[in-house]
Chains A and B, each alone.
Chain A
Amino acid sequence: MRKNLVARLGVRTKRYALVIDSRKCINCKACVVACKAENDVPLGRFRNRINEETRGEFPKLLASFEPEQCHHCASASCVRVCPTGASWQRGDGLVLVDTDDCIGCGYCIIACPYNARFFNEETRVVDKCTMCVHRVDAGQPPACVETCPTKVRVFGDLEAPDGRLRELLSTRRYVVKSPQTGNDPHIFYLL
C-alpha cells in the first residue's frame, strides 16, 4: 500500500490486532491458500504459515499447530531499519510496505525477528502480511481470518471498548511470541 502521511500520522483511533486460539487450529492450511489467492503470493512463498510441532514417543504424543504471520509490532524493527521509509506503520498499527519505495535491499527481512517477510521474486520487492488492509479498509475481514473452518483467528480493533478482542484478552490468558525481541508484537495467542 502506498505510503500515506495522513494514515501514518493520523490520530490513533484504532489499533488492529489478531487474537489466535492455536488449540482450535487443525492445520488444514485454508488460511495459507486463501492468503495466496487473495494476495497473489508466489509459489513457494507464504505470508502466513502454521508452525507444527510433534513430540513424544508412540503412543504418548502431542502435536501443536500455531498459525503465524506478521505480528504488526508496535515497535517494529522492520520499519526502524528500512533505509527508504518504504516500510511504514499506519496510525491503526498496521505495518505495511510501500512497494513503490521499496528498493528490495532485504534489510527488513533480516531485521524481522518473526521471519514474517520474504523477497517476492515476481515484484522484486519485499512482501509480507498486510492484514489484508485492502479488505479491512473495505469493511471485510482478512482472507485468512474469514476462511478458517474453525475460526482460529479473531481480527479486530483493540481500541473498541466492546470489541471481541478486548473481551477475549480480558477473560482469557494469553501470550505474545518472543516478547524479548522488544518489538511489542500484536498477535495475542490464547492459552
Chain B
Amino acid sequence: MDEIRWGLLIVSYLFLGGMSAGLYFVSALATYLQDGGQPAYPRIARVGAMLAPWPVAIGSFLLIFDLGKWYRFYKLFLHFEWHSPMSIGSWLLVGFTLLSLAYFWAWLPAGVIDSVVSRLPKRLRVLGIVAWPGREGLRRPLAMAGFPLAVGVGIYTGVLLGAVQARPFWNTNLVAQMFLFSALSTGCAALILALSLHRDDLEAREARLLYSIDIVLILLELFIVIPYIVHGALSPLAVRQALALILGGPYTFAFWVLFLTLGLLVPLALELYEMKPVLLERASLHPNRVLAGATAALIIIGGFVLRYVFVYAGQVSSFQ
C-alpha cells in the first residue's frame, strides 16, 4: 500500500460509532438500575437515550462519504458476507441505529413531542400518536436489547481492524477489547460532559455512578494497553516492528502523550481525586463542574487519538 487508505473520516466513524455504543450502554444501565420501581438515574438514562443515535448516524454518513462510490453504499445491504467484519458490522450498525432511534423515541419527553406536533400543519397532527404513552414501558426491554448490540458495535469497531492479518499492529485480539472499553468510556465521558453542561447541576450520585463506571473502564483499558505492548514486544518480528511505530516511531507522541497520559492517566487521576471523599472518607462527593467537563473532554479526545493512532499506524505496519 502506497498510502494511508483510511484517513480521518474512518477514524471519526470508528470514534463516533463507539461513542454511541457507550452512550447507549450507560444509558441502558441507568434504565436498568431501578430504585423502587423507577429508574434510579432517570436523567442519565434520558440524556443518554437522547444523544445515543446521533454520533453513529453522523459516523455512518462519514463512512459512506469515504467510499470511492458513495452512492453504491446500498450494495452493502444486498450482501451478507459472514467472513467480512465490515459486512457483519454494517448490518450490526443498521440494527443498532434503528434500536437507538426506538430507544430515543421511548425516552422522548411527551411535552417535547406535543410542542413539536402542535406546530405542524393540521393534516400532520396525526403524528401525535408517536407520543403514545405506552412507549415508557418499552424503555427497559429496549435497554436490555441494546446491551448486546451496543457491546457488539463497540467491539466491531475494533474487530474491523483486528481481523486484518495483514497488519500486525492490529492483528491481536486485544484490539477489539481495547476499542470496546474505550468506546464505553467515551460514551460515559460524553454523558459526564453533557450533564456538566446541563443547566441543572451534576448531581453527586449521578457523578458517582458515572465516575465509578469510567474508572473501571479506564482501568480495564490500562490492563489491555500494558499486555498489548508487552505481548507485542515479545512477538514475531513483524509485530515488534509494528510496535516500533508507537515505541519510537511517528506515532509515539500521539500514543504516549495524547492518548495514554492525557486521555487515560490524567482523567483517571482527576476522577479518583473527585471520588476521593467516597473512596477514602465514605463521604459524599461534591462534583466540580469544571473539573468534570475537563475530565470528560480529555477522555473524549483521548478516545479519538486512540482510533487515530490505531488506524494510521496499523495501515503502515506490514509483514514486509
Q: CB atoms of A and B under 8 A apart anywhere in the complex?
A: yes
Q: A109-B5, A118-B1, A124-B68 are in contact. Are A83 and B81 (CB under 8 A)?
A: yes
Given A103-B72, A119-B68, A180 and B86 contact (CB-CB distance below 8 Å): no
Q: Which residues of chain B are near A84, meaning CB under 8 Å?
A: 75-76, 78-79, 81, 87
Cβ of B119: which chain A residues have Cβ within 8 Å of it? none
- Residues of B near A110 (CB, < 8 A) are 1, 5-6, 164, 166-167, 314-315
* A163 at the B interface (CB under 8 A): no
Q: Which residues of A contact B76 (CB under 8 A)?
A: 83-84, 103
CB of A4, distance to nearest CB on chain B (Å): 16
Instruction: Known A83-B81, A111-B166, A115-B2; judge A180-B236 contact (CB<8 A).
Output: yes
Inter-chain contact B68/A103, CB cutoff 8 Å:
yes
Report chain A residues within 8 Å CB of B167.
110-111
Given known pairs A80-B83, A83-B87, the reply for A113 and B319 (CB within 8 Å) is yes
Q: Is B90 an interface residue (CB 8 A)?
A: yes
Contacts of B236 in A (CB 8 A): 180
Q: Are A124 and B6 in contact (CB under 8 A)?
A: no
Instruction: A77 to B85: give the CA distance in the assembly, Å.
Output: 12
Nearest A residue to B88 by beta-carbon distance?
A83
B67 touches A105 (CB 8 A): yes
Residues of B within 8 A of A86 (CB): 75
Does any Cβ of A come within 8 Å of B84's Cβ? yes
B-facing mask of A105-125, CB < 8 A → 1, else 0?
111011111110111000011
Determine the main DSSP class of A at the interface with B. loop
Chain B contacts for A101, CB-based, 8 A: 75
Chain A hits for B6, CB < 8 A: 106, 110
Q: Which B residues are CB-close (under 8 A) to A126?
A: 68
> How far apart sit A119 and B90, CA to CA, in the bound complex (Å)?
21
* Minimal beta-carbon separation of A75 from chain B (angstroms): 10
Find residues 139-191 in chain A having any chain B CB closer than 8 Å to their own CB.
177-178, 180-183
For the complex formed, measure the closest distance between the CB of B221 and the CB atoms of chain A, giving whole angstroms. Answer: 24
Per-residue contact bits, chain A 132-144, to B (CB 8 Å; 1 contact, 0 not):
0000000000000
Task: Tell me the minimal C-beta distance from B67 to chain A in angstroms.
Answer: 5
- Complex interface: chain B residues within 8 A of A105 (CB): 66-68, 86
Q: Judging by beta carbons under 8 Å apart, are B81 and A177 in contact? A: no
Partner of B163 from the list A81, A112, A118 (CB cut-off 8 Å) is A81
The minimal Cβ–Cβ distance linking B239 to chain A, given in whole angstroms, is 11
Judge if B318 is at the interface, Cβ distance under 8 Å: yes
> Assuming A115-B1, A118-B1, A178-B319, is B84 touching A81 (CB within 8 A)?
yes
Cβ contacts under 8 Å, A131 to chain B = none
Chain A residues near B81: list those with CB within 8 A.
82-85
Bound together, the chains give a CA A1 to CA B47 distance in angstroms of: 50
Whether the Cβ atoms of A113 and B166 lie closer than 8 Å is: yes
Residues in B whose Cβ lies below 8 Å from that of A177? 320
Q: With the chains together, A96 CA to B84 CA distance in Å?
A: 17
Asked if A80 and B84 make an inter-chain contact with CB atoms under 8 angstroms apart, the answer reads yes
Which residue from chain B places its CB closest to the CB of A109 in the assembled complex?
Answer: B5
B1 near A124 (CB under 8 angstroms)? no
**A103: nearest residue on chain B (CB-CB)?**
B72
Residue from A81, A83, A119, A183 in contact with B5 in the complex, judged by beta carbons closer than 8 Å: A119
Measured between C-beta atoms, what is the minimum distance from A20 to chain B in Å?
A: 15
Chain A residue with Cβ nearest B71: A103
- By beta carbon, the residue of chain B nearest A179 is B319
- The 0/1 profile, CB within 8 Å of A marked 1, for residues 41-67 of chain B is 000000000000000000000000011
**Contact A113 B68, beta carbon cutoff 8 Å:** no
15 pairs, CB–CB < 8 Å, chain A vs chain B: A77-B164, A83-B81, A84-B78, A102-B68, A102-B69, A103-B67, A103-B75, A105-B67, A105-B68, A106-B6, A106-B68, A110-B167, A111-B165, A115-B2, A177-B320
Interface contacts beyond A83-B84, A83-B87, A115-B318: sample of 15 additional A-B pairs, CB < 8 Å, sorted by A: A77-B165, A80-B83, A81-B84, A81-B85, A83-B76, A86-B75, A106-B5, A107-B84, A110-B6, A110-B166, A110-B167, A111-B164, A111-B166, A115-B2, A181-B166
Chain B positions near chain A (C-beta within 8 angstroms)? 1-2, 5-6, 66-69, 72-73, 75-76, 78-79, 81, 83-87, 90, 160, 163-167, 236, 238, 314-315, 318-320
